[in-house]
């Protein structure tokens, strides 16, 4: 039997999962890494720490599986998107910490571009809104703040890319500097209609094309890993951005199918097929994938910046739980939030608000408020944001959503999923394997390695573990959403 190795490099940890030919996970390993917050609103990662962690978990997973590297048909990579690494081509070492997708340091710069009338150009070419969430302004900042970086980049001495590029560069011993269309489309530098770097966008952000990786398709054989990685060379079948990977892992490959991933943030994607749909509700038009020589496929995406990170705040910031799973037992001690609403806008708000100045807000506290109420209100704050996304997505696409497919670590919470079903009024479908981000990368790698012929063949291995249906009336749902949107307005005007 052949196996697939998925490298899932996320925002707070790196994981490696070994799958067999039936997409069943055989072994896994995971390691958290350091989060750096040098200033309010700044978030950084040490790219070298990430690489060494990926090496460690990959070897641990393969060892746990009890297999030799020769039995691995391919490596698939999925990664946190938008995070930018800048490194020295000769030494292979970063020249600065990576700037993470959550980072807001370039908000003023992006506001200036918006005031300069650049947003229509950006949206037409990239499907994105002008926000510091994306990679272009982060790379612009690095090239100006790191000494001599701009000149060195133009001279070909430096390389830049998202995390997939960094990992492939390291996996191949510096032989390959590539990225795939799903990561490239999130940089704000790729034209989503052509699939290439756009000269006008590069000029706008003053980024030399020479510093960027080559853009490739998904599920294609790129190169072989350096023998030192696993003892023998293994075929690398490219990368795919984490949310597109989850979309593929959920096999949402027909127009109208939608998934939401509950991770550090929450990310909803609605597959639209070969035609990009322009949003009128500040959602994003994004590339879903490009399988080999097939045409580009598209999706509409909405992003919640703080999802599971809100639960981490209860643990690390408030100290009212000792581990993330404890939030469920604590929140279940009360039948509702007691009128407490929490808007977890710790790093601003994503779609459909796109407000970088919004901040976390807690409303409705009384003397009777307990830790259990805060825990439940935090879960509800995550679910309310997802409900906003689905509502905007339906308005944009005109699609009738019959089911919301969910995945990610927090989707394992029965309480959160029931709250979500109550707020969206649509059945929630949870697969047996909620780690569909890694699964999608493995599936794409398997297609590239020839283990499966097509997506239809993959549909045979998908299993649903549980469905959640709404236990609320339409009126109850509308009333709660009305109060939630009042709370959002308070979060948006917290300093006013």
Tokens of residue 31, six digits:
């390691």
DSSP 316: I
Q: What is the 3-state secondary structure (H, E, C) of 93-126?
A: CECCCEECCCCCCCHHHHHHHHHCCCHHHHHHHH
Cβ distance 171 to 230 under 8 Å?
Answer: no
Tokens of residue 170, six digits:
């390291």
Q: How far is CA 162 from CA 182, 217, 263, in A?
A: 11, 15, 19
pLDDT at residue 339, rounded to an integer: 93
With respect to residue 38, please indicate whether it lies within any of the assigned structural domains: yes
Q: Which helix (H) or strand (E) holds 335?
A: none
Q: Are strands 297-304 and 214-216 parallel, antiparallel or unpaired?
A: unpaired
DSSP 213: P
What is the distance between the alpha carbons of residues 447 and 458, in angstroms, rounded to a whole number? 9
With respect to residue 478, please indicate whether it lies within any of the assigned structural domains: no
Query: Per-residue pLDDT for the chain (496 aa), expressed as one digit of tens each?
Result: 799 999 999 988 999 999 998 889 999 999 999 999 999 889 999 999 999 999 999 999 999 999 989 999 999 999 999 999 999 999 999 999 999 998 989 999 999 999 999 999 999 999 998 888 899 999 999 999 999 999 999 999 999 999 999 999 999 999 999 999 999 999 999 999 999 999 999 999 999 999 999 999 998 888 899 999 999 999 999 789 999 999 999 999 888 889 998 988 898 999 999 989 888 888 889 999 999 889 999 999 988 888 888 988 999 999 998 888 889 999 999 999 999 999 999 888 887 887 878 898 999 999 999 999 999 999 999 999 999 999 888 888 777 888 899 998 888 899 999 999 999 998 999 998 888 889 999 999 999 888 888 888 888 778 888 999 998 889 999 999 999 999 999 998 775 5
Whether the pTM exceeds 0.75: the reply is yes
What is the distance between the alpha carbons of residues 34 and 25, in angstroms, rounded to a whole number? 27
With respect to residue 22, please indicate whether it lies within any of the assigned structural domains: yes
With respect to residue 354, please indicate whether it lies within any of the assigned structural domains: no
Please, what's the b/e burial string for 66-88 (b: 16 or more CB within 10 A of its CB; e: otherwise)? ebebebbbbbbbbbbbbbbbbbe
pLDDT at residue 495, rounded to an integer: 55
With respect to residue 156, please indicate whether it lies within any of the assigned structural domains: yes
17 is in which domain, residue-wise? Answer: 3-242
pLDDT at residue 463, rounded to an integer: 81
Report how many domains make up the chain. Answer: 1
Residue 9, domain CATH? 3.30.420.40
With respect to residue 167, please indicate whether it lies within any of the assigned structural domains: yes
Residue 117's contacts (CB-CB under 8 Å, 6 or more residues apart) are none
With respect to residue 449, please indicate whether it lies within any of the assigned structural domains: no
With respect to residue 31, please indicate whether it lies within any of the assigned structural domains: yes
φ and ψ at residue 24, rounded to 5 degrees? -90, 125
Beta bridge partners of 88: 158
Tokens of residue 449, six digits:
């390695």
Please, what's the b/e burial string for 221-238 (b: 16 or more CB within 10 A of its CB; e: otherwise)? ebbbbeeebbeebbbbbb
pLDDT at residue 342, rounded to an integer: 94
């Amino acid at each position: 039997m052949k196996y697939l190795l998925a490298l899932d490099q996320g925002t707070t940890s790196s994981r490696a999962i070994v799958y067999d030919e039936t997409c069943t996970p055989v072994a896994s390993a995971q390691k958290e890494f350091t989060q750096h917050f040098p200033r309010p609103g700044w978030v950084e990662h040490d790219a070298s720490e990430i690489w060494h962690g990926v090496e460690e978990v990959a070897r641990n997973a393969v060892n746990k599986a009890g297999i030799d590297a020769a039995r691995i048909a391919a490596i698939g990579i999925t990664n946190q998107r938008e995070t930018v690494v800048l490194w020295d081509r000769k030494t292979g070492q970063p020249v600065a910490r990576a700037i993470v997708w959550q980072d807001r340091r370039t908000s003023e710069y992006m506001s200036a571009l918006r005031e300069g009338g650049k947003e229509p150009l950006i949206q037409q070419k990239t499907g994105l809104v002008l926000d510091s969430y994306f990679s272009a302004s982060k790379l612009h900042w690095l090239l100006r703040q790191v000494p001599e970086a701009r000149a060195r980049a133009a001279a070909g001495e430096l390389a830049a890319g998202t995390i997939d590029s960094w990992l492939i560069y390291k996996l191949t011993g510096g032989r390959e500097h590539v990225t795939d269309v799903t990561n490239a489309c999130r940089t704000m530098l790729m034209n989503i209609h052509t699939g290439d770097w756009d000269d006008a966008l590069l000029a706008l952000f003053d980024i030399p094309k020479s510093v960027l990786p080559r853009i490739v398709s998904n599920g294609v054989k790129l190169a072989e890993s350096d023998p030192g990685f696993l003892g023998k060379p293994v075929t690398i079948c490219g990368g795919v951005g984490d949310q597109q990977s989850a979309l593929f892992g959920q096999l949402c490959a027909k127009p109208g199918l939608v998934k939401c991933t509950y991770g550090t943030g929450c990310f909803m994607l609605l597959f639209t097929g070969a035609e990009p749909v322009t949003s009128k509700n500040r959602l994003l038009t994004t590339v879903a994938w490009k399988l080999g020589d097939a045409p580009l496929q598209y999706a509409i995406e909405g992003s919640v910046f703080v999802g599971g990170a809100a639960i981490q705040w209860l643990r690390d910031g408030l100290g009212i739980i000792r581990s993330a799973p404890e939030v469920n037992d604590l929140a279940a001690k009360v039948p509702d939030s007691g009128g407490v609403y929490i808007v977890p806008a710790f790093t601003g708000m994503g779609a459909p608000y796109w407000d970088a100045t919004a901040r976390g807000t807690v409303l409705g506290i009384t003397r009777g408020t307990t830790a259990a109420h805060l825990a439940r209100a935090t879960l509800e704050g995550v679910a309310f944001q997802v409900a906003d996304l689905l509502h905007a997505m339906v308005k944009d696409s005109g699609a009738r959503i019959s089911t919301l497919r969910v995945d990610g670590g927090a989707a394992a919470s029965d309480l959160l999923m029931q709250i979500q079903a109550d707020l969206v009024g649509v059945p929630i479908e949870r697969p047996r394997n909620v780690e569909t981000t890694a699964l999608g990368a493995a599936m794409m790698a398997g297609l590239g390695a020839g283990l499966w012929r097509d997506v239809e063949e993959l549909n045979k291995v998908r299993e649903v573990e549980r469905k959640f249906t709404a236990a609320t009336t339409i009126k109850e749902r509308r009333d709660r959403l009305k109060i939630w949107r009042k709370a959002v307005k308070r979060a948006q005007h917290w300093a006013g």
